[in-house]
Chain A
Amino acid sequence: MLRRRVIPCLDVADGRVVKGVRFIDIVDAGDPPELAEHYAREGADEIVFLDIAATPAGRGTLLAVVEATARRAFVPLTVGGGVRSVREMRDVLRAGADKVSLNTAAVEDPSLVARCAVRFGRQAVVVAIDARRRPTDGAGDEPSWEVVVNGGRRPTGGDVLGWAERAVELGAGELLVTSMDRDGTRAGFDTELLRSVAARVEVPVIASGGAAGPDDFVAAVRDGDADAVLAASVFHRGTCSIATVKRAMADAGLPVRLVDGRAA
């Protein structure tokens, strides 16, 4: 049976791991390859790097970090941030990444998703969607979310559920859905958002934004119907370990790959 994945996310800038709280207050938290290996040993099912600086000058540094990581951690590696072309995606894959996540560039030019999927296969293309909940007037309104880009700074007016469907039609093999309302708040995942997206697409949905403790991961899968759950600061700050999260998921009856090799 397919396991639900637990994925630590390493926000990287200039070759170092950082984590923005609501993308403003940045705290340095370590060396990417070393952290990746640590998490892989702890049972991380995948590693995600987000290049939050994503400057042309930092590109070479990022590729070196990707390769160093691929040589130390034998689990899948996804890289996002600043990839705007098929050629840039090729460079990141050749450096040792298995998947690339596209966000702002895909919103600005949806054909990029299709071109990358044709060239590298849809399994290598993750579309990351940053979602902000729209205010509702009355209690009976259906909830809706707006796509925001540029690290959450720029609203697009686009509807998250529509974009999710479109991205999958274009060739996204996975969706990484981040609640910008919850990101950095430790208020738990927006399970309503996750469930709404998961109901619209057949590709796996990765939950992101708001994790505070093991129960939140359980809720993202059980209530949000997420296939995988991603978090950053709760792991980097040692609030909880990959192992305790997986144990909580196993105890809740969710299928996970346990670190000692025995499955739930």
Chain B
Amino acid sequence: MSDPVVASRGSTPRPRIAVVDYGAGNLVSIEQALLAVGAVPVMAASREAIEGADGLVVPGVGAAAPAMARLGRHGLIGPIRRWVAAGRPFLGICLGLQLLFERSDEDGATTLGLIPGHAARLVGAPTLPHIGWNQVERQRDHPLFEGIRDGADFYFVHSYAGVPDPLVASEILLAETEHGERFTSAIARGWTMGVQFHPERSGEDGLRLLANFAAIAAAQAGPSAGSGEPLQVHAIAGV
């Protein structure tokens, strides 16, 4: 790409980003996008491969129940739960965001239950699946979107979206998008972040977002980062 967006600055080491590989299709794009922003992607199909990473990405498309079953078979549900509970940098992409909630209406699957809420079918959508580029309208500032214009277009491919529990919605809502009714297109609770769109398929703005995530992971990778010590979950400056 013409204007490379690079996460690591100065003497900061390149952050290691584990990408959970549970047979969910195309991982080439996310791997290459992380490389392009200066991170070190590690395809992780086991608990061991996640440990030692500075950031964790859970990608995924398709339905929740088979995805949870595959995560379970790889022994990854416990490690992902502990990672998020420890407040370490986490990015859920598409289904990876929806899995953070408690359940999915799509097939009744019980999901990770790390954020109160559920995944529901888009309401009033003129076409389903919602496929294509659409505007991501920010509801508050966040380091994940640093340098990205409010209302920038990102690429979506989905029929369901996360619906945060009303009790936490105002705390975690980061961005909304309109397709029929407005839906939640990005969330963040501490360093647990999720986007409904595919940054790895969203051109320059997508690379910028992944660079921001890598920078967050690099900044959090201190002496305490690998110890499993809980970080301050609500420690985002200016939020």
For residue B95, which residue of chain A has the nearest CB? Answer: A121
A3 in contact (CB, < 8 A): yes
Closest Cβ–Cβ distance, residue B179 to chain A (whole Å): 5
Closest Cβ–Cβ distance, residue B61 to chain A (whole Å): 5
* Stretch of A49-57, A68-76, A188-196, A230-238 lying at the B interface: A68-76
Closest Cβ–Cβ distance, residue A60 to chain B (whole Å): 16
Assess whether B132 is in contact with A3, with CB atoms less than 8 Å apart: yes
Tell me which residues across on chain A come within 8 A of B133, comparing CB atoms: 2-3, 5, 45, 257
For residue A92, which residue of chain B has the nearest CB? Answer: B26
* Stretch of B81-89, B163-171, B195-203 lying at the A interface: B195-203
* Stretch of A14-22, A24-32, A95-103, A215-223 lying at the B interface: A95-103
A173 in contact (CB, < 8 A): yes
Assess whether B135 is in contact with A74, with CB atoms less than 8 Å apart: no
A40 in contact (CB, < 8 A): yes
* Stretch of B46-54, B146-154, B186-194, B218-226 lying at the A interface: B146-154
A41 in contact (CB, < 8 A): yes
Assess whether B158 is in contact with A123, with CB atoms less than 8 Å apart: yes
- The proximity string for A residues 230-264 relative to B, scoring 1 for CB distances below 8 Å and 0 otherwise, is 00000000000000000000000000010001010
Interface size range of chain A in the complex? 35 or more
A3 partner, pick from B1, B127, B134, B151, beta carbons under 8 A: B134
Closest Cβ–Cβ distance, residue B10 to chain A (whole Å): 26
Tell me which residues across on chain A come within 8 A of B130, comparing CB atoms: 2
Tell me which residues across on chain B come within 8 A of A263, comparing CB atoms: 135, 151, 153
Assess whether A120 is in contact with B25, with CB atoms less than 8 Å apart: yes
B114 in contact (CB, < 8 A): no
B203 partner, pick from A67, A74, A119, beta carbons under 8 A: A74
Closest Cβ–Cβ distance, residue B81 to chain A (whole Å): 24
Tell me which residues across on chain B come within 8 A of A4, comparing CB atoms: 132
Tell me which residues across on chain B come within 8 A of A1, comparing CB atoms: 134-135, 178
A173 partner, pick from B2, B29, B129, B204, beta carbons under 8 A: B129
Closest Cβ–Cβ distance, residue B145 to chain A (whole Å): 15
Tell me which residues across on chain A come within 8 A of B128, comparing CB atoms: 202-203
For residue B61, which residue of chain A has the nearest CB? Answer: A121
A228 in contact (CB, < 8 A): yes
Tell me which residues across on chain A come within 8 A of B129, comparing CB atoms: 122-123, 173-174, 203-204
Tell me which residues across on chain A come within 8 A of B132, comparing CB atoms: 2-5, 45, 204, 227-228
CA distance A94 to B36 in the complex (A): 19
Question: With A74-B203, A124-B62, A263-B151 known to touch, is A98 a contact of B26 (CB < 8 Å)?
Answer: yes
Assess whether B153 is in contact with A74, with CB atoms less than 8 Å apart: no
B residues sitting closer than 8 Å to A (CB atoms) are: 1-2, 25-29, 32-33, 36, 61-63, 66, 126-135, 149, 151-153, 155, 157-159, 178-179, 198, 200-207
List 5 interface pairs A-B (beta carbons < 8 Å), by A numbering: A4-B132, A74-B36, A75-B155, A93-B25, A263-B151
Q: Enumerate the 4 nearest inter-chain pairs by beta-carbon distance, A residue then B residue, closest first.
A: A121-B62, A96-B28, A93-B25, A123-B157
Besides A4-B132, A263-B151, 7 more A-B contacts (Cβ < 8 Å) are A5-B133, A75-B155, A94-B25, A98-B201, A121-B62, A228-B132, A257-B153
A residues sitting closer than 8 Å to B (CB atoms) are: 1-5, 40-41, 45, 67, 70-71, 74-76, 90, 93-99, 118-124, 173-174, 202-204, 227-228, 257, 261, 263
